[in-house]
């Protein structure tokens, strides 16, 4: 799959299963009046050659991560954002998106607490590793 196809598959999945009503994606302007909101980024990584063939042609394997930042309001504590992050983890944990052979395979996601930003919003980041075949 191309990086663009992976991004489309992830966005479709997150839109079909909304955790928060306010969602933003990389390079798509979003100006939310107040939290909570989430921002999702698909970050492709390295592509390597593999020793298998699909339909008679060799393929490569592309890896990457999806990062989803959860932003909650000042004074809400870390548990609110942590609960949203757990929902995002559940949406991406070991899920396959797409149709064989054009699938994105997710592995085990994890959450980090980034703490407050300069405006007092509290931020959690969910990182979900993925891989796919590249013809």
What is the token pair recorded at 72?
């909650």
Instruction: Quote the CA–CA distance of 93 and 113 in Å, as a whole number.
Output: 19
CATH architecture of 3-134: 2-Layer Sandwich (3.30)
pLDDT > 90? residue 66 = yes
pLDDT at 47: 84
Q: Read off the pLDDT band of 76 (50, 70, 90).
A: confident
pLDDT > 60? residue 131 = yes
User: What does DSSP assign to residue 63?
Assistant: E
Instruction: Quote the CA–CA distance of 11 and 15 in Å, as a whole number.
Output: 6
Other beta carbons within 10 Å of 116? 13
Mark residue 115 as left, alpha or beta (left: phi above 0; alpha: psi -120 to 50; beta: remaining). Answer: left
What pLDDT, in 10s, does the model give residues 18-51?
Answer: 999 999 998 887 889 899 999 999 999 988 876 5
Q: What is the mean pLDDT of the chain?
A: 90
Share of the chain above pLDDT 70, in %: 93
Beta bridge partners of 99: 102
Domain definitions of the chain by residue range? 3-134
């Amino acid at each position: 799959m191309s990086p663009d196809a992976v991004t489309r598959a992830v966005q479709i999945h997150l839109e079909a299963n909304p955790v928060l009503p306010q969602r933003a994606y990389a390079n798509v302007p979003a100006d939310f009046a107040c939290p909570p909101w989430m921002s999702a980024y698909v970050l492709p990584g390295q592509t390597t050659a593999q020793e298998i063939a699909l339909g008679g042609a060799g393929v490569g394997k592309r890896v990457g991560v999806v990062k989803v930042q959860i932003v909650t309001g000042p004074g809400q504590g870390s548990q609110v954002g942590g609960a949203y992050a757990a929902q995002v983890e559940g949406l991406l944990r070991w899920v396959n998106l797409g149709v064989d052979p054009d699938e994105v395979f997710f592995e085990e996601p994890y959450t980090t607490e980034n703490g407050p930003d300069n405006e007092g919003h509290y931020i959690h980041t969910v990182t979900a590793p993925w891989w796919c075949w590249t013809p």
